[in-house]
Amino acid sequence: MEIFLQQILNGLVLGSVYALVALGYTMVYGIIGLINFAHGEVVMVGAMITISMLTMFSAMGIQLPGVVVLLMAMMISVPACMILAYFMEKVAYRPLRKAQKLAPLITAIGISIILQNLAMMIWGRGFKSFPSVIDVEPIDFMGATVTNLQIAIMIVAVLMMLGLWFLVERTKLGKAMRATAVNQEVAGLMGISINHIISMTFVIGAGLGAIAGVMRAANYGQADAYMGAILGLKAFSAAVLGGIGNIFGAMAGGILLGVIESLAAGYIGDLTGGFLGSHYQDIFAFIVLILVLVFRPSGLLGERVAERA
Amino acid sequence: MNKTMKYGLLLVLLVALPFIVNATPFLGPTWVRILGYAMLYVMLALGLNIVIGYAGLLDMGYIGFYAVGAYLYAVLSSPHLFENALASGPMDWPFWVVIPLCAIVAGIFGVLLGAPTLKLRGDYLAIVTLGFGEIIRIFMNNLDRPYNLTNGPQGINNINPLHIGTHSLKSTWTLFGLEFTPVINYYLVFLGIVIFVIFLSSRLENSRIGRAWMALREDEIAAEAMGLNKRNIKLLAFGMGATFGGVSGALFSSYQGFVSPESFVLMESIMILAMVVLGGMGSISGVVIGAVILSVMPELFRDVVNAIQPVLVNNITFISEDTLRNVLDASTLRMLVFGLAMVLVMRYRPEGLWPSARRRQELHDKDEEPFDSAHYVKETSHAKISADEPDNRDTTGEGR
């Protein structure tokens, strides 16, 4: 029972990160129908810049509480990722918005390779460890262990999602985004600047992604130039699971995928009599993705059909 | 000069190439080896071209079929499994048994993995096939327990070379005063298979099946209305593409004498995709040239970078040495160039560098369409049909 609770808790932490990344995919997909393959790389860049900043601050000998230092680092890394996403959209996706469907997809893959390799040039191929600015304390929760950092991750994720919900449902910008998602041309006729709204979508998604990247790096205590690819794929699976284009779907899908993955990794050895071990953890996201697309392509909460060109 | 003579001359040149390269100082056997790998990439790119170029299905897990072919050959022709399972040693399988076997098994994998994705198109298909490619790799990486089939991350060693008749390709013999070294043997066999694959591709392109693939690529609904069986045609594309992958995987395995899951990572799939995209999707000559450029260029690049790196590292002091080494890493620079090539080609020349005539026409048609308002009005009936499904179909090109 303790193992079960422990896996659920791990899954919730993992799932919060997936959910935040998945929001970036789903928002962009909802508006322009493009899978932004490079989103995972933006997440990675967010984590790496934060690590660099933290290292720099500690080298400068800044004596402040850990949380403040971390916030200062994120004040730099999150806007940097937003700017990156803005230019990415402008250079690689906007000129191709009217082109055939494969074209923006291939540029997206290209951008993601470019970002990954630039990151390798800047930060090298190996792991960068996350400076321990926050004292991680384990807390006992009904027999399972959870750290104060993990609790903070979950709380921040929930706050971010509430903030996004408020932005999309209650503000003028959100209304414009929803209108653009429904019909770009008509939204344009209503006086909405489509290009601006699409840029904003990329920027907001990148901001959430950067925060998720920091969370993941802090939770695992390290980050590397490859982390974006697999994290991005899983988050995309989460977005599909929830119903792509649907913001609540991405949140639910992310958390669900985190829990599924964590439970599956914990129990697969027992279930298959030792035939498959927890090494296979990474394939569950793909299996979930394939099952969802085959049996319920619209996802859990989505209404759209996945059958698109 | 007529066409036959041109092709004949090209063939003579290609056959003579390894001997020339082998004898050239600075190049030597290393470069013959690189040419051999280039041939393997040509096969892979032509296989992927069937799936992406002809049938328009963006398959990102293509390297999985390469892995299947490579591992099948490795397991059949190395002591690894036989020591574990059977008393007798590995067999020297005849060429015409093992290569078709790998082709068929990879083809079956292609159909099996294609089947669940039949309903998906475009971006979803890309992600799901990418997932399949990763799943294959993860299995290769972990199938050393409970039963040691793939030997896990260490990979399989001591793979027997390919045999033609009783001749091993890894032995040297002299004929007409020319020395046939192992790399040259392999190159020539690869060249023969590449020519066969090119022939097959061009016959497929102009066949009933090829036209069906292209019809499906352009407009699924219209193609189905013409009586095409969407399911079978798509599965055939996956299967045919995978077959090419399986053959080149088997050849790779025998060429290298060693396989490990490292060779079948996602980046390899992307590299092959870049070859197809750069050359021009659907154009055989384009894809061949794209594959040769992208497989040979990085090696040139590596030589140049490795020559320059120590000089720069010693002379530039204002950047730290580690950073400089990271920046001047040959494989990083290579991938960076691939990424840039993909973005630039898609943005400025979406039909590729050597496009097929049909593709070029089609793409340039589309560019002009949105500004031609008179044309738009004339074709309102088409516009209406596609307005219901703005993402599925374009008003242009296929309507007429």
Q: What is the pLDDT of residues A227-281, one digit of tens each?
A: 888 898 889 889 888 888 888 889 999 999 999 988 888 887 777 666 666 667 7
pLDDT 10s digits, A121-152: 888 888 888 888 888 888 887 778 888 889 99
pLDDT of res. B12: 85
Chain B hits for A34, CB-CB cut-off 8 Å, are 123
pLDDT band per the 50, 70, 90 thresholds, residue A119: very high
Contact A286 B135 (CB under 8 A): yes
Model pLDDT, residue A276:
67
Cβ A277–B145 below 8 Å, yes or no?
A: yes
Within 8 A by CB and 6+ apart from B20, the residues are: none
Higher-confidence residue of B21 and A115: namely A115
Segments of chain A assigned E as strands: 128-129, 138-141, 144-147, 222-223
Q: Do A103 and B116 touch (CB under 8 A)?
A: no
User: Does residue A23 surpass a pLDDT of 60?
Assistant: yes
* pLDDT score of A303: 60
Instruction: Please give the DSSP secondary-structure letter assigned to residue B259.
Output: B
B391 interaction partners in chain A (CB closer than 8 Å): 33, 101, 308-309
Q: What is the mean pLDDT of residues B43-60?
A: 90
| Distance separating alpha carbons of residues A69 and A61, to the nearest angstrom | 11
Closest approach of chain A CAs to the CA of B203, in angstroms? 25
Contact A102 B56 (CB under 8 A): yes
Give the per-residue pLDDT at B91.
63
Q: Is a pLDDT exceeding 90 seen at residue A51?
A: yes
Contacts of A283 in chain B (CB under 8 A): 134-135, 138
For an interface test with A, the pick among B144, B346, B364 (most A C-beta atoms closer than 10 Å) comes out as: B346
Mean pLDDT of the B103-120 span: 88
Q: What does the pLDDT read at residue B130? A: 84
Q: Quick check: A297 and B366 CB within 8 A?
A: no
Cβ neighbours of B122 in A, within 8 Å: 101-102, 105, 308-309
d(CA A134, CA A67): 7
Nearest CA in chain B to A235: B127
Contact at CB, A105 and B58, closer than 8 angstroms: yes
A280/B214: higher pLDDT: B214
Question: What distance in Å separates the CA atoms of residue B73 and residue B71, rounded to the nearest whole number?
Answer: 5
Which chain A residue lies closest to B216 (C-alpha atoms)?
A: A309
Residue A308 has pLDDT above 60, yes or no: no
Cα distance between residue B181 and residue A161, in whole Å? 64
- Give percent of chain B with pLDDT exceeding 90: 20
Please give the average per-residue pLDDT across A111-119, as a whole number.
Answer: 92
pLDDT range class, residue B359, cuts 50, 70, 90: low
pLDDT band at A78 (very low <50, low <70, confident <90, very high): very high
Dihedrals phi, psi of B85, to nearest 5 degrees? -105, -45
Q: pLDDT digits over B264-285, tens only?
A: 888 888 888 888 888 888 889 8
For residue B136, the chain A residue with the least C-alpha distance is: A283
The residue extents of the domains of chain B are 3-266, 356-400
Question: So what's the ipTM on this one?
Answer: 0.83
- What does the pLDDT read at residue B380? 42
Q: Determine the length of chain B.
A: 400
pLDDT range class, residue B249, cuts 50, 70, 90 = very high
pLDDT at A288 over 90: no
A107: chain B residues, CB-CB within 8 Å: 342-343, 346-347
The total number of structural domains in chain A stands at: 1
Cβ <8 Å between B119 and A294: yes
Examine the pLDDT at A82 and tell me if it is beyond 80.
yes
Average pLDDT over residues A94-110: 82
Q: Which residues of B84-121 are buried (b: 16+ CB within 10 A; e: fewer)?
A: eeeeeebeebebeebbebbbebbbebbbebbeebbbbb
CB contact under 8 A, B342 and A107: yes
- % of chain A beyond a pLDDT of 70: 94
CA–CA min distance A141, chain B (Å): 34
Interchain pair A289, B122: CB under 8 A: no
pLDDT for A215: 92
Is the pLDDT confidence value at B370 over 50?
no
Q: What pLDDT, on the 0 to 100 scale, is given for residue B363?
A: 61
Give per-residue pLDDT as tens, B145-202.
767 777 778 888 878 787 776 677 777 777 776 777 788 888 888 999 999 999 999 9
Using CB atoms, which residue from A111, A237, A285 is nearest to B339? Answer: A111
Inter-chain CB proximity A102 and B122 less than 8 Å:
yes
Q: Which of A151-155, A221-225, B380-384 has the lowest mean pLDDT?
A: B380-384
Asked if A102 and B335 come within 8 Å (Cβ–Cβ), the reply is no
- Which residues form the domain of A54? 14-228
Model confidence at B374, pLDDT cuts 50, 70, 90, reads very low
- For B55, counting Cβ atoms within 10 Å of its Cβ (0-12 exposed, 13-18 middle, 19+ buried), the class is buried
- CA distance to partner chain B, nearest, from residue A231 (Å): 13
Q: Note the pLDDT of residue B191.
A: 92
pLDDT > 80? residue B392: no
Percent of chain B with pLDDT over 70: 83
In a domain, A202, yes or no: yes
In tens, the pLDDT along A157-211 reads 999 999 998 998 899 999 999 999 888 889 999 999 999 999 999 999 999 999 9
Under 8 Å CB pairs connecting chains A and B tally to 158
CA distance B287 to chain A (A): 16
pLDDT of A43 strictly over 90: yes
DSSP string, B28-55: HHHHHHHHHHHHHHHHHHHHHIIIIIIT
Q: B205: distance to nearest CA of chain A, Å? A: 20
Query: CA-nearest residue of chain B to A120?
Result: B326
Query: In B, which residues are within 8 Å of A103 by CB distance?
Result: 346, 350
Q: Name the residue with higher pLDDT: B364 or B6.
A: B6
Q: What is the mean pLDDT of residues B8-27?
A: 82
Nearest to B248 by CA among B32, B387, B94, B65: B65
Cβ-Cβ contacts under 8 Å for A272 (sequence gap 6 or more): none
Please list every residue in chain A whose beta carbon sits closer than 8 Å to the beta carbon of residue B309.
Answer: none
Which residue in A104, A283, A294 is closest to B135 by CB distance?
A283
